[in-house]
Amino acid sequence: MPSCMTTADIADLYGDQEQLASCDTQFFNYGGNTEFCGEIATIKCFQDNGLVKKTLNSPGNGRVLVIDGHGGLHTALMGDMIAQAGVDNGWAGVVINGAIRDSAEVAKMPFGCKALGTNPRKSAKDGAGELNVQVSFGGVVFHPGHFLYADADGIVVTAEAIDH
């Protein structure tokens, strides 16, 4: 598991090198941990959180789950019960290109959560989507196995863990 550094320090360390990607999407922080980092796992889905639930109920080993919900805000891809499963299973946090619900409860958890917004509406639970595929948003391609660093300033991604 990488040691978390601030995104500004990482950007200064790498400069404009190709080894660093900085996400342009302006996410809101919803988790109790504003700073979080870890190896990336990914899901691509739309208005269906079946894979999200299944994944966060599996061992996280300090990883960060990046969920491309195609920017959809019509339904929530994670709520407090699924977030608690992430905490219980050792996930560092999630980045959701979509919405969450139960945001007041998620904010109390020792868990990183960045999302576009909130919606109380549940999503489908069919498990439709793709697991551990490259996903892209905010000018960044998120590769499973690469490393994500998040804090109040944003999100940066590197191919290898930063040792400082």
Inter-residue contact 20 to 139 (CB < 8 Å)? no
Q: Can you give the pTM of this predicted structure?
A: 0.96
Instruction: Render pLDDT for 8-56 as a digit per residue (tens, 0 to 9).
Output: 999 999 877 778 999 999 999 999 999 999 999 999 999 999 999 999 9
pLDDT of residue 2: 59
CA distance 131 to 73: 21
Residue ranges of the binding site: 79-82, 101-102
* Cα-trace Rg, the chain: 14
Class (C level, CATH) for 7-158? alpha beta
CA distance 85 to 132: 19
CA distance 10 to 58: 30
Residue ranges of the binding site for Mg(2+): 102
Instruction: Render pLDDT for 57-67 as a digit per residue (tens, 0 to 9).
Output: 999 999 999 99
Instruction: Render pLDDT for 66-87 as a digit per residue (tens, 0 to 9).
Output: 999 999 999 999 999 999 999 9
Residue ranges of the binding site for substrate: 79-82, 101
Helix (H) or strand (E) holding 81, with range, is: helix 80-88
